[in-house]
Amino acid sequence: MMSKVKKILKWFGIVVGLIILIIIFYLLTGLSKPNTKIDYTLKVNEDTHLVEVSMTIKPNKFIFLDLFLNQTRSKDANIRVRNFDVTKNNKKISHWKTIPTFSPLERIWVGFNNEPITITYTIDPFVEMGDRGKAISFLSDNYGYFRGMYIIYTPITFSEGKAFLFNDAMPKSQQGIGSVQFQLPEDWKINDPWENMEGVSIAELRNTYWGLGKDIEVIRFKDISIGIVKEMDKAVQEVTSQNIEKIYNEIEMITGISTEKESSFWAISILPPIPIHGGVAGSYSLLTENDISIICHEMFHWWNGNLIESANDVNWFKEGFTTYYQGKILLKTGIWSEDDFNQYIQNLISELNKDGQTPINLIAASSRLTNHSSSMEDYYEVYNGGALLAYYIDRELKKDSKTLDQIWAMLYDLDKVITNEDFIDKLKNLSDTAFADQIWEMIEGKRAIPLN
């Protein structure tokens, strides 16, 4: 009996020892660590304006690497990424002439060394229309812009045997670090959020808008870099940059949140209205046409959207409250008059095309808008309806000498993705339960927002 017990204990000890050895091997070889460095070189071909990308992954030691690519298409459904090659030790290990919309690429043997893997491909950056007619990538003889999400197809991390070329779900703490080098045609400039694009989070590179071209005038003040197309009159350039500084300062004052930037500065690329048709905000960067109201809206997203993130069905807060605050900020800075602001509110009501008696389900409209299955009615309900809800709340709070401005610091301090319930909970701290319950019914579409 004793010999049997000893035999069992012996085998148990062997198993435990093997487990310990595997754990040590796992830690020492880097299997437990994400990719640490991904270097990009983006060369704009002077003749064709195609973007030739070279991407070098410098991995930790692990055995296999599975590559996935989220492939976007141009407006005529043509594949934008071409000639996708993967090489290691100067040997081609994978090649695709074109890539399907979304597919796992073949598993690559990495082995127990950290030899770099090089991926090269070509991207067509010409006009590609996104939601509601907005272009996400554009390049012409004189100027253009890239969005990192569509130009840099990024391997983010090694996780459970996979490196993703594009994946929003991966937490930032697990994402890699990258560097970018642009090789531009002669006389071209670039307006970007990093003076030195070394050691930047891949997530930030991916969500950045780069303005570039030979007709861009770059202006810098404080922590902002403004790239303005030279077609704009010099006097208009000066007024625009002054107004942007006013807006920047006012947002910090209103929210009570000082900006915490990992980048050297924030970049604003201001281009002609075509083909932009509006503006878009990225991480530490934004792209906009020359309209101070749109510029203000996108700047406010650096706070409401970047510093304060909200869930998809709270898009009425992200977009709607930003739409209200763009008007409020322009009023408080003196860029707009009281008449301008009042007209702005009336325009929001008119565009919404509601009679003040019809409730709006802001949660449902937000979900549809986020899932890209929306109509223009959903767009107006989220943007205009959310803005008018903010206007109503702010107006009611003022009766008790309070302001909606206080909500920003409260939500920021939660340090989490904001839900509908989070907003209502903090609103109760500003007002009372009865008022917050009324607002909740408006958000759910059970009570109409008083538009007048």
Output the pTM of the full model.
0.82
The 3-class SS string of 264-277 reads CCEEEEEECHHHHC
In contact, 446 and 341? CB cutoff 8 Å: no
The CATH architecture to which 37-300 belongs is Sandwich (2.60)
Residue 401 has pLDDT above 80, yes or no: yes
Burial of 448: CB neighbours in 10 Å, binned 0-12, 13-18, 19+: middle
- Helix pair 406-414, 234-255: axis angle to 10 deg: 70
**More confident position, 276 or 329:** 329
Pick from 260, 301, 264, 259: nearest CA to 279: 301
- 332 vs 207: CA distance, rounded Å: 30
Task: State pLDDT tens for residues 126-137.
Answer: 766 655 555 667
Interval 279-301 mean pLDDT: 91
**More confident position, 367 or 148:** 367
User: Of the spans 27-36, 115-124, 320-329, which averages the highest pLDDT?
Assistant: 320-329
Q: How high is the pLDDT of residue 155?
A: 42
Q: For residue 92, what pLDDT band results from cuts at 50, 70 and 90?
A: confident
Q: How high is the pLDDT of residue 100?
A: 45
Range from 49-63, 155-169, 194-208, 246-260 carrying the lowest mean pLDDT:
155-169
- 363 vs 370: CA distance, rounded Å: 11
- 369 vs 363: CA distance, rounded Å: 10
**Cis before 450? omega within 30:** no
**More confident position, 312 or 28:** 312
Interval 142-167 mean pLDDT: 58
Which run of H or of E encompasses 309? none
Q: How high is the pLDDT of residue 374?
A: 65
Q: Within 10 A of 80 (CB to CB), how many other CB atoms are there? A: 23
Range from 7-21, 123-137, 284-298, 321-335 carrying the lowest mean pLDDT:
123-137
Q: For residue 230, what pLDDT band results from cuts at 50, 70 and 90?
A: confident
Cβ neighbors of 167 (< 8 A, separation 6 or more) are 68, 70, 156
**More confident position, 265 or 345:** 345
User: Of the spans 36-45, 221-230, 238-247, which averages the highest pLDDT?
Assistant: 238-247
In contact, 239 and 258? CB cutoff 8 Å: no
Q: Within 10 A of 126 (CB to CB), how many other CB atoms are there? A: 16
Retrieve residue 336's tokens: 């707009």
Interval 213-242 mean pLDDT: 86
Q: How high is the pLDDT of residue 403?
A: 95
Interval 380-409 mean pLDDT: 95
Task: State pLDDT tens for residues 296-346.
Answer: 999 999 999 988 999 999 999 999 999 999 999 999 999 999 999 999 999
Burial of 412: CB neighbours in 10 Å, binned 0-12, 13-18, 19+: middle
Plot region of 266 (φ>0 → left; ψ -120 to 50 → alpha; else → beta): beta
Q: For residue 261, what pLDDT band results from cuts at 50, 70 and 90?
A: low
Q: How high is the pLDDT of residue 128?
A: 60
Residue 76 has pLDDT above 70, yes or no: no
Residue 150 has pLDDT above 50, yes or no: yes
> Virtual CA dihedral for 235, 240, 246, 247, nearest 10 degrees?
170
Residue 79 has pLDDT above 60, yes or no: no
Which run of H or of E encompasses 430? helix 420-430
Burial of 159: CB neighbours in 10 Å, binned 0-12, 13-18, 19+: middle
DSSP secondary structure of 385-402:
IHHHHHHHHHHHHHTTT-
Mean pLDDT score of the chain: 80
* Domain ranges across the chain: 1-32, 37-300, 312-444
Retrieve residue 100's tokens: 């399907």
Q: How high is the pLDDT of residue 387?
A: 97
Q: How high is the pLDDT of residue 429?
A: 93
DSSP secondary structure of 4-58:
HHHHHHHHHHHHHHHHHHHHHHHHHTTTTS---EEEEEEEE-TTT--EEEEEEEE
Which run of H or of E encompasses 425? helix 420-430
The end-to-end CA distance of the chain, in Å, is 89
Q: How high is the pLDDT of residue 328?
A: 98
- 329 vs 350: CA distance, rounded Å: 21
In contact, 250 and 178? CB cutoff 8 Å: no
**More confident position, 32 or 268:** 268
3-class SS of residue 206: helix
> Virtual CA dihedral for 258, 403, 324, 326, nearest 10 degrees?
-40
Interval 237-260 mean pLDDT: 90
Helices (H), 219-375: 234-255, 273-276, 292-300, 315, 322-332, 338-352, 362-370
Q: How high is the pLDDT of residue 104?
A: 45
Pick from 191, 316, 197, 308: nearest CA to 241: 191
Kindly state the greatest CA–CA separation across the chain.
Answer: 97
**More confident position, 272 or 103:** 272
Residue 254 has pLDDT above 80, yes or no: yes
Interval 409-431 mean pLDDT: 95
In contact, 53 and 42? CB cutoff 8 Å: yes
- 256 vs 265: CA distance, rounded Å: 20
Q: Is the CA virtual torsion 293, 297, 299, 300 positive or negative? A: positive
- 105 vs 100: CA distance, rounded Å: 10
Amino acid at position 372, single letter: H
Task: State pLDDT tens for residues 232-244.
Answer: 888 888 899 899 9
Interval 100-114 mean pLDDT: 53
Q: For residue 69, what pLDDT band results from cuts at 50, 70 and 90?
A: low
Q: How high is the pLDDT of residue 39?
A: 84
